[in-house]
Each structure stands twice: as structure tokens, then as C-alpha cells.
């Protein structure tokens, strides 16, 4: 199985694979992973959402941030069309923070 995100800033994908003895191994997909037989991949697109990975000042890691794409509006200064975004960090499993 495979789950994760793909985006312009890169990818973050987790894999679970098994061998011929039905032992399961898991980890991150990285450059150089080889498929020996067949990979059946289904992608889903979530309209209206933008996934980015800004650096988290606390951890130093690029953490997942999910933003809602807002309708386009005209810039008050240049008159150009621009999309607004509203970004919310996912809640931690312990219920704290955003």
C-alpha cells in the first residue's frame, strides 16, 4: 500500500510492502525505489485545497500545511487577479495546537 502527498514542493509517501513469505516492511519512498513487477497507483485530487510544507520553526522540519484555495480577487494595488489562501495546520493527535 502507498499513501502520502505529491506537490510542487516535492513528495512525502509511505509504503508498506511484503515479500514472498508475507512479511511486511514499511517506510518512506525515496529516489531509487524499484518496482519488481507491477505498481497499481490511483491518485486523488482534492479540489479547493493546497498542500504545502513550510519549515516549522519549532522542529526545523518541513511540516504539512493544508490551505483552502479562496476565490480570485483583484489586487487593490496592481489590479491583477490573485488567489487568496487560508492556511490551517492540522491538529496534533493529542488535541493541542493547530
Averaged pLDDT in 10-residue chunks for the chain of 98 residues: 84 89 93 84 85 91 86 69 56 54
Q: What is the pLDDT of residue 86?
A: 52
Q: What is the pTM of this model?
A: 0.54
Q: What is the pLDDT of residue 8?
A: 78
For residues 59 and 62, give the distance between their C-alpha atoms in angstroms, rounded to a whole number. Answer: 8
Q: What is the pLDDT of residue 82?
A: 62
Using alpha carbons, select from 32, 3, 7 the residue that is nearest to residue 16: 3
Say if residue 18 is exposed, middle or buried (CB neighbours under 10 Å; 0-12, 13-18, 19+): exposed
Amino acid at each position: 500500500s502507498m499513501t502520502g502527498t505529491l506537490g510542487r514542493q516535492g513528495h512525502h509517501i509511505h509504503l508498506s510492502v511484503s515479500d514472498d513469505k508475507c512479511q511486511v516492511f514499511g517506510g518512506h519512498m525515496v529516489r531509487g525505489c524499484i518496482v519488481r513487477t507491477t505498481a497499481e497507483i490511483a491518485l486523488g485530487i482534492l479540489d479547493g485545497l493546497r498542500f504545502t510544507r513550510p519549515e516549522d520553526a519549532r522542529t526545523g522540519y518541513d511540516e504539512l500545511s493544508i490551505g483552502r484555495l479562496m476565490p480570485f480577487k483583484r489586487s487593490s494595488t496592481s489590479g491583477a487577479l490573485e488567489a487568496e489562501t487560508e492556511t490551517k495546520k492540522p491538529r496534533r493527535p493529542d488535541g493541542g495546537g493547530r
